[in-house]
Structure 1
């Protein structure tokens, strides 16, 4: 996988984040099974509950382009430790597979399978395994 390239893309799109309230910019890249790459940054709203996370913005771009299976996700933030996707992002990403997720901060990175971050994402919901 091309983690270094995708990470650079995520840092670059992070610069476009709209975060006037928290000043907390996040960048994300979603890689579809066919190798297509989609970028996203967070888009805040004065009503915080309406804020769009970078991961879901990137995923929305992927779905709009026809992607239905996700292989990889990169999330970057200017934090000491890598920041992890919120629960909503984890659940939405799980709809499209069990991608490898690379989280990157100032002092390093961590990687997980999405199923490690959100076990049993579909178990019990609409009787899906």
Structure 2
């Protein structure tokens, strides 16, 4: 059986969607293929997010924000928007899951830990449902 693809989307692909994709890779241990993108990508992953993921042993050294594409939306089995009302570049073909997490753009690691834990709980629930 092919692993389902879950696409995590936020505005800048520097915080929330990076959390979602990295945490899904971490908890699913290969059972789910996780990717992420943003509607207006930043230049780099948020350092506070990278720090909180590093605390779980997750390496983000190669993580680079990128734009979500119409092809991403058409091929993902599940699309998770990490905030409501994102202006997406095309229709979603698969299941659409909408979460609402605040933008951590100006947060330090201490502030981001609570959101990391909340995203991880949501990711674990989604991963269990996809088994």
Work out which structure has the larger RCO, using CA pairs closer than 8 Å and 6 or more positions apart in sequence: 2
TM above 0.5, yes or no, is no
Higher strand fraction (1 or 2): 1
Q: What TM-score, normalized by structure 1, do the two folds share?
A: 0.30
Q: What TM-score, normalized by structure 2, do the two folds share?
A: 0.29
